[in-house]
Amino acid sequence: MPSSTSNSDARLPAGPWARTWLVALLLAGATLGGYEGALRWRGLRPHITDDAGLWSLARSRVRPHDPDQVVIIGASRAQLGLQPAALAAALGTRPPVQLAVSGSSCMPVLRDLSASRDFRGIVLVDVTPYVFFNTPQHLDGGVQAEFVRQYAAHSVLAAVERRLRLALERRFAVQLPEVRLSWRNLYRWYQRGFPAPRYVETRPDRSENADYARIDLARAAADRARDTAASARPAAPAEWQAALAELRALVGRIQARGGRVVFLRMPVSGAVRAIEDERYPRDVFWDALIRETGALGVNFTDFPTLAQFTCPEGSHLDYRDAEPFSQALGAVLQPLLRPPAYAAR
Amino acid sequence: MVFNSLTFAVFFAAVLAVHALPLPWSWRKLNLLLASYLFYAAWNPPFVLLLILAAVVDYYLAHWMGRTDRPGVRRGLLVFSISLNLGLLSYFKYGQFLLDNCVAALAAVGVHYQPPRADILLPLGISFYTFETISYLIDVYRRRLAPWRSFIDYALFLTFFPHLVAGPIVRAGDFLPQCAVPRRATPAQFGWGLCLLTVGLCEKVVVADGLLAPIVDIVYGATDRATFADAWIGTLAFSGQIFFDFSGYSLCGIGAALCLGFVLNDNFRFPYAAVGFSDFWQRWHISLSSWLRDYLYIPLGGNRRGPRRTLINLLLTMLLGGLWHGAAWRFVAWGALHGLYLVGQRGVESLARRWRLTQVPGLAAPAALVTYLLVCVAWVFFRAESFNAAGDLLRAMARPTATFDLLVRSQAALALAVVAFMLIGQWHLRRRSLEAWVAAVPWWARSAALALLIVALVLAPGDTRAFIYFQF
């Protein structure tokens, strides 16, 4: 039995539809082009949004059963300070997969890699003391746990969609979240004015470039020192022992499959370094970590080629230093990661 | 795959390109069928098999029904086929619900039984295509429709991607004859189809997701703290969100089909301009309400068996309509409330006739406003996470205060502005169709409006949310 059918030709609005659509597209193109031009004139550039979809794309690039597969995990220091291409050139491997995520603990990702039976590569773990050596709740949950969860449910369709969006984000500044026409943005513009250009930009490989020449460094350094002091709450001895036990198990599983784990302390400077050195004594935290887990350790203070780099705001490398630092780190890592002579035989 | 994705844009462009090739009609139908399976498989490939199974079984059962003249066999085949379809729907959609209620009932009499959770994944769109195939089987049984010869046509009727996941619920009698002759969109169909697609996407992405959903989420995420103003504004915002979300999806589906030369039914006709609840259900989710009317309410006897039986039929139809939406008592309560509204409306109408109020001018607008507000009260059960949450909100809605605890004034102003715009617009257009209204607009104004919509779409915040009706 037919129900009422509409949209038959008799009911459709007549008119010059080809002309209507052509003019509409031209008008829309002109408006969006004008907005894009205005954004660029204000110094805003296309920017890739670092989200779960982009992380999943990177995670899916981790090759199984490849002992040379390098994976970078950690927080913002690794994301800003390590450039996969430069590191790859120094190590003589394919570009590492950048899985570090700003402002969060990498423990969920380490657990994920440790549980992945086909992962046999090298995990480069950025150890940011006030994330890694803090009370246990800092090691759990957070954005990286959510990224791992979303990756587990990641579909081919989601990957295609993210790649298409990535293509737009790389080309158009109008894709920037802060310039979209949302109610929240309108309210922010009303309160604080139109957004200024970002000083950090994400690259398609998920590494980030921070241009500290664009910001007020004195203020940024003071803010960073204050935030570090507020965030640095070292784990109590019992908590740290429990965390060490878990880390030992996680590293052990990766090593048992032939993989390797390298803990890395990225350069810090000024007040941030002073706070970290004072609150997280090396013998209690760093040395114990390397000793108890049996992993490799690279602490920037032990290598003059790494210690020469300075973080403009105390905690992160400028993009101009990220490439030479990555090359220097590669040079430090290469002999450490070279298979032992007996293995080569 | 969802309409508000770049993947769909690429997919749709490819489908349109192949559909435009000078190929035989049967090949082009096959292209649409395969594209529809791909569209569905993009979400969960194994469930395509379920869709194919439903098409094969119902196609052959309908043919068997059509060939035999023995009433008992025909009735048996109908009962079997409906049981099969409803059985699958019940298993996937209501299995866990039934299990949970059995456990609760046993616990109430002191038997503590805890079965393992079934964790049944609901196949997307199963409620929609089950109703479509059941309507076909009943129409064949009633001999209002002959069993369709071509299996490809029948599979396409069930699977056609513009309506597959969330409707409109298409009738075989509307769709299958369109498969008989080669179809390509006329310029008017293509132009208008793209318009509907653009308007639908804007309704979903810009208004429902961009403007209203964040406000609704705040209020319905903390119902215990909602004040009178929070609760009402959150609920009014939800009335807008669900309208723009679902109507947006329907417009996208109708528009996409039209671009391919197929005509689907309207699913919405300015529902918040309804004067009374029977009017509301002739304007809201029309393809479902007409299905319930034709295949449930009328077979139950409709209004032909006296006033008391009419009321029972109304209540039963709305209860089942509520349950169709989701396996939860909240949806049953929502349906029951609408059933009571329909029953109450009959009483009010008989009083109005007795007091000769039906001829009093100027009562339509207040009546429409009362209808809308009562519909909003029912939406509380639809949106709230639990009966407790719904109770929190309904209590807050009954205790007038002017303060906000959850929302800020700018959010309240935004929600009220969008809802006011929606209500005034729908009231203005309540006796017209969108097509008739657009037909009166000059081409250059259409161009300007479309350009505005495209810009709004590109600059929308981009927080992707699933269509609300996908869960059904």
For chain A, what are the domain ranges? 64-153+199-336
Q: What is the rounded distance in angstroms from the CA atom of residue A210 to the CA atom of residue B119?
A: 46
B266 interfacial to chain A (CB closer than 8 Å): yes
Across the interface, whether the CB atoms of A13 and B194 are under 8 A apart is answered: no
What residues of A are in contact with residue B287 (Cβ under 8 Å)?
Answer: 3
Q: Tell me the shortest Cα–Cα distance from B174 to chain A, in angstroms.
A: 5
The strand pair at A260-265 and A122-126 is best described as parallel
Q: Which residue has the tokens 């959010």?
A: B411
Strands A70-73 and A122-126: parallel
Q: What is the DSSP letter of B286?
A: H
Among B residues 370-399, those touching chain A with beta carbons less than 8 Å apart: none
Residue B207, phi then psi, degrees to nearest 5: -85, -55
Per-residue model confidence as pLDDT tens digits over A266-302 = 999 989 999 999 999 998 899 999 998 888 999 999 9
Q: Which of B241, B259, B454 to mutate to test the interface with A (most CBs of A within 10 A)?
A: B454
Query: In A, residues 98-157, which contact B (CB 8 Å cutoff)?
Result: 155-157
- The Cα B131–Cα A305 span in angstroms is 71
Output the pLDDT for position A344.
Answer: 41
Cβ neighbours, 10 Å, residue A27: 18
The shortest C-alpha distance from A46 to chain B (Å) reads: 14
Alpha-carbon distance of A320 to A313, in angstroms, equals 14
Across B384-412, average pLDDT: 88
Distances (CA, A) of B218 to B228, B233, B234, B246, B357: 14, 11, 8, 21, 42
| Most confidently predicted of B186-200, B315-329, B339-353 | B186-200
B186 with A9: Cβ contact below 8 A = yes
The whole-model pTM stands at: 0.84
Q: Answer yes or no: do A13 and B438 touch at CB < 8 A.
A: yes
> Is the pLDDT reported for residue B438 higher than 70?
yes
Q: What are the angstrom distances between the C-alpha of A158 and each of A63, A167, B164, B191, B276?
A: 20, 14, 20, 30, 43
* Residue A248, pLDDT score: 92
Q: Which residues of B touch A174 (CB under 8 A)?
A: 458-459
B349 in contact with A, Cβ within 8 Å: no
Write the CB contacts of B417 (distance below 8 Å, at least 6 apart in sequence): none
In whole angstroms, give the CA distance from residue A106 to residue A116.
15
Whether the Cβ atoms of residue A260 and residue A266 lie closer than 8 Å to each other: no
Q: Is the pLDDT of residue B443 over 80?
A: yes
DSSP A110-140: HHHHHH-TT--SEEEEE--HHHHSB-GGGTS
Backbone angles phi, psi at A204, to 5 degrees: -55, -25
Domain ranges of chain B: 6-184, 197-471
Strand extents, DSSP E, chain A: 70-73, 97-98, 122-126, 200-202, 208-210, 260-265, 296-299
Contact partners, residue A133, CB within 8 Å, separation at least 6: A127, A234, A235, A240, A280, A285
pLDDT band with cut points at 50, 70 and 90 for residue B105: confident
User: What count of CB pairs under 8 Å joins A to B?
Assistant: 153
**In the predicted structure, residue B406 carries a pLDDT above the cut 50:** yes
Q: Which residues of B touch A14 (CB under 8 A)?
A: 188, 439
Token pair belonging to A7: 């949209």
Which residue on chain A is closest to B266 by alpha carbon?
Answer: A6
Looking at the DSSP assignment, which residues form a beta bridge with residue B412? none
CB A34 within 8 A of CB A59: no
The alpha carbon of residue A233 is apart from the nearest alpha carbon of chain B, in Å, by 31
What's the confidence (pLDDT) of residue B169? 92
Cα separations in angstroms, B76 against B65, B70, B216, B413: 9, 10, 48, 58
Does B459 contact A160 at a Cβ distance shorter than 8 Å? Answer: no
Q: Which of A8, A12, A23, A175 to mutate against chain B (most B CBs within 10 Å)? A: A12
State whether B42 and A13 contact (CB < 8 Å): no
B213-231: average pLDDT: 91
B240 contact residues in A (CB cutoff 8 A):
none
ipTM value of the model?
0.82
Whether chain A has a CB inside 8 Å of the CB on B281: the answer is no
Residue B325 among the catalytic residues: yes
Inter-chain residue contact B1 with A19, CB threshold 8 Å: no
CATH 3.40.50 for domain A64-153+199-336: yes
Q: What is the pLDDT of residue A9?
A: 57
> Are B435 and A12 within 8 A, CB to CB?
yes
**In this predicted model, what pLDDT tens digit does every residue of B294-315 receive, in sequence order?**
999 988 888 888 888 888 888 8
Radius of gyration of chain A (CA): 24
Report residue B16 as tokens: 């349109």
Q: Are B20 and B190 in contact (CB under 8 A)?
A: no
Of A1, A19, A182, the CB nearest to B145: A1
| pLDDT lower than 70: segments of chain A | 1-10, 136-141, 339-345
| Axis crossing angle, helix B126-141 with helix B151-159, rounded to the nearest 10 | 140
**Report for A90-104, B186-200, B324-338: range of highest mean pLDDT:** B186-200
A269 at B interface, C-beta within 8 A: no
Interface test with A, best of B12, B267, B435 (most A CBs within 10 A): B435
| pLDDT at site B341 | 93
Tell me whether strands A208-210 and A200-202 are parallel, antiparallel or unpaired: antiparallel
Q: Which of B63, B325, B338, B428 is catalytic?
A: B325
What phi and psi, each to the nearest 5 degrees, are found at residue A228? -65, -45
Rg of chain B (C-alpha set)? 23
| Test mutation, B124, B458, B464, B465, chain A, max A CBs within 10 A | B458
Q: Which residues contact A73 (CB under 8 A, 6 or more apart)?
A: A99, A100, A106, A109, A110, A113, A123, A124, A125, A126
Q: Which of residues 89-128 of B touch A (CB under 8 A)?
A: none
Of B1, B439, B458, the CB nearest to A157: B1
B188 touches chain A (CB under 8 A): yes
